[in-house]
């Protein structure tokens, strides 16, 4: 949208495929028989379409695209259809509550594909409710995991501030993302001193070409709406989450170079989309 500066930009016609490339490297046969499952509503279908286009561009073959109702409970026919189609890799665009039902049905029917999920599944209620059927599922993050806050001063500061403001509150990635945006706003205001106006603030934000929230996430370019290529893959295990990639020992070179993230070159990890995904809100007279 115009007149908006994102701490973590997510341009409509670009899609970061770093985690898809990781899946391609680790499960090359599975991605030949992929399925995209999604809640059948316009926003989630649009996000699914973006993912499918982006992942197809790096070699995925989607043999099934499976719509599901909001709050879907009857997963048996969908699981049977995916088994019959030979699906070996799945992703789900929706909520963890529905994914719990899907994975329980899949386990009951002996359907065990590779599972890669978006960041909204990084919620402690997901593994708690799903139990062992969710173990081994992969979740892609663009921010530092809460489980490792002691190793990241920026994350520790966020958690301390959250606890001080709302004792007992459960941290969420969207909260940490909002914290990064608030820090960016405060930094810009501070730079203006006593000359804080709407126009001056916009001009100041237009100079922010390198931003990581103090270490909360990979470096982005909010002024030019350029995202970071950095990601971390978490794995569901034993009722919680643990880091899968990059690991500080096994993947030391990647881990050290990205300060704990995997940060492939942006030109290699960015899929340029050509589908019709809208234009975002435009300022008056902005076209």
pLDDT above 70: residue 76: yes
Mean pLDDT of 117-132: 96
Residue 43 Rama label (left phi>0; alpha psi -120 to 50; beta): alpha
pLDDT at residue 287 tops 60: no
CB 82 within 8 A of CB 35: yes
Residue 67: which residues within 8 A CB-CB, separation 6 or more?
Answer: 38, 39, 40, 45
> Mean pLDDT for the chain?
96
- How many CB atoms within 10 Å of residue 53? 17
What does the pLDDT average to over 244-256? 98
Enumerate long-range contacts of 28-31, CB under 8 Å, 24 or more apart: 29/88, 30/88, 30/89, 30/113, 30/114, 31/55, 31/59, 31/60, 31/61, 31/88, 31/89
What's the whole-number mean pLDDT along residues 266-285? 91
Indicate the pTM of the whole model: 0.94
Q: For 193-264, where are the alpha helices, taking DSSP H only?
A: 198-205, 252-257
């Amino acid at each position: 949208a115009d007149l908006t500066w994102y701490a973590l930009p997510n341009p409509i016609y670009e899609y970061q495929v770093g985690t898809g490339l990781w899946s391609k490297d680790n499960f090359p046969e599975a991605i030949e028989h992929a399925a995209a499952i999604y809640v059948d509503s316009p926003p989630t279908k649009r996000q699914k379409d973006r993912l499918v286009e982006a992942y197809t561009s790096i070699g995925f073959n989607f043999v099934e695209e499976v719509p599901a109702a909001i709050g879907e409970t009857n997963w048996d026919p969908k699981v049977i259809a995916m088994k019959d189609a030979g699906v070996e890799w799945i992703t789900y665009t929706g909520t963890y509550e529905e994914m719990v039902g899907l994975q329980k049905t899949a386990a009951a029917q002996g359907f065990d594909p590779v599972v890669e999920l978006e960041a909204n599944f990084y919620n402690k209620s997901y593994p708690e409710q799903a139990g062992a059927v969710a173990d081994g599922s992969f979740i892609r993050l663009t921010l530092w995991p809460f489980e490792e806050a002691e190793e990241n001063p920026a994350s520790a500061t966020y958690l301390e501030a959250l606890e001080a403001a709302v004792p007992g509150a459960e941290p969420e990635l969207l909260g940490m993302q909002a914290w990064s945006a608030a820090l960016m706003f405060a930094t810009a205001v501070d730079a203006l001193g006593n000359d804080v106006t709407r126009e001056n603030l916009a001009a100041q934000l237009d100079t922010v070409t390198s931003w990581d929230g103090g270490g909360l996430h990979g470096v982005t370019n909010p002024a030019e709406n350029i995202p970071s290529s950095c990601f971390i893959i978490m794995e569901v295990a034993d009722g919680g989450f643990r880091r899968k990639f990059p690991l500080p020992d096994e993947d030391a070179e990647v881990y050290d170079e990205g300060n704990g993230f995997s940060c492939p070159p942006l030109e290699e990890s960015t899929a340029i989309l050509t589908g019709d995904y809208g234009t975002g809100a435009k300022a008056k007279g902005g076209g």
